Amino acid sequence: MIAEIAYPIALVGSLLWFAAAFRYFSFQHYAAAKVFVPRSARTSPIFPTIAVLTRFLGGMNAAFALLSLVLLMIWFADLDLFKRPSERGVLLIVLSAAHFSQFIFNVPILRNGERRGESFWNVLSGPMLFIFVIDAVETLLNGIAGILQFLGA
């Protein structure tokens, strides 16, 4: 029973978060780049390149948002696709890994003291704190929901 409820909840969470990341990194790529690049380096000719590179993050998030939307539509329409809990578990574990990949690489930056002069960014303030926390929550939400599918809870 819990697994049946956890599946759409995890998908909605992923859809909303990946869609927000798509919007931010794709359409507000200069604002996103400002999070990564210190003010003193924003006049460098490399800054616009970094800003455009953040659109790749947007593209990856768009694909995961679309996957979440399609899975949610399949679930809502009660189609015969991905009906088995083990299939749903695999899908949720993959979504958990996607969230985890966007969380874990901030951990070494945080452990090493965050922004140091011209390098890195602040993880525990501004937009990165929000991103860091929500990616951790989404990792757990999707991972736990995936495990529940396998357990049949």
Question: Concatenated DSSP letters for 73-92?
Answer: HHHHTT-STT-SHHHHHHHH
Residue 115 has pLDDT above 80, yes or no: no
Residue 77's pLDDT is: 97
pTM: 0.89
**What burial letters (b/e) apply to 60-79, b meaning 16+ CB within 10 Å?**
bbbebbebbbebbeebeeee
Which pair of tokens denotes residue 52? 């455009």
Q: Which domain holds residue 20?
A: 1-152
Residue 56 has pLDDT above 90, yes or no: yes
Residue 114's pLDDT is: 64
* Domains held by the chain: number: 1
Q: Per-residue pLDDT averaged across 95-101, rounded?
A: 97
Q: Which residues contact 152 (CB under 8 A, 6 or more apart)?
A: 3, 85
Q: Per-residue pLDDT averaged across 93-109, rounded?
A: 93
